[in-house]
Amino acid sequence: MQTTVPDARTRGAARTWALLPWALLPAALAALAHGSTIDTALADTLFAWEGHRWALADNPIARGLLHDAGQMASKLAWLGVVLAWAATHAVGCWRRHRQPLARLAVSVLVATALVATLKQLMAVHCPWDLVRYGGTAMAGDGGGACFPAGHAAAGYAWLALAFVPATPSRRRIGLAAGLGAGLVFGIDQQLRGAHFLSHDLWSAALCWMVAVVVAGLWPTPSETAP
Whether residue 161 lies inside any domain: the answer is yes
In total, how many domains does the chain have?
1
- The per-residue pLDDT for range 65-101, each reduced to its tens digit, is 999 999 999 999 999 999 999 999 999 889 999 999 9
Residue type, 145: A
- For the chain, give me the number of helices (H) and strands (E)? 8, 0
- Report pLDDT for 26: 97
Whether residue 3 lies inside any domain: the answer is no
Average confidence (pLDDT) over 173-185: 97
The CATH number assigned to the domain holding 172 equals 1.20.144
The helix, strand and coil proportions of the chain, stated in percent and rounded to the nearest 5, come to 75, 0, 25
Question: Domain residues for 56?
Answer: 20-219
Average confidence (pLDDT) over 35-62: 98
Whether residue 174 lies inside any domain: the answer is yes
Whether residue 125 lies inside any domain: the answer is yes
- The per-residue pLDDT for range 119-135, each reduced to its tens digit, is 999 999 999 999 999 99
Where residue 134 falls (left for φ over 0; alpha for ψ -120 to 50; beta otherwise) is left
Q: How confident is the model at residue 5 (pLDDT cuts 50, 70, 90)?
A: very low
Q: Looking at the whole model, is its pTM more than 0.75?
A: yes
Given a cut of 60, whether residue 173 has pLDDT beyond it is yes
Whether residue 226 lies inside any domain: the answer is no
Given a cut of 80, whether residue 11 has pLDDT beyond it is no
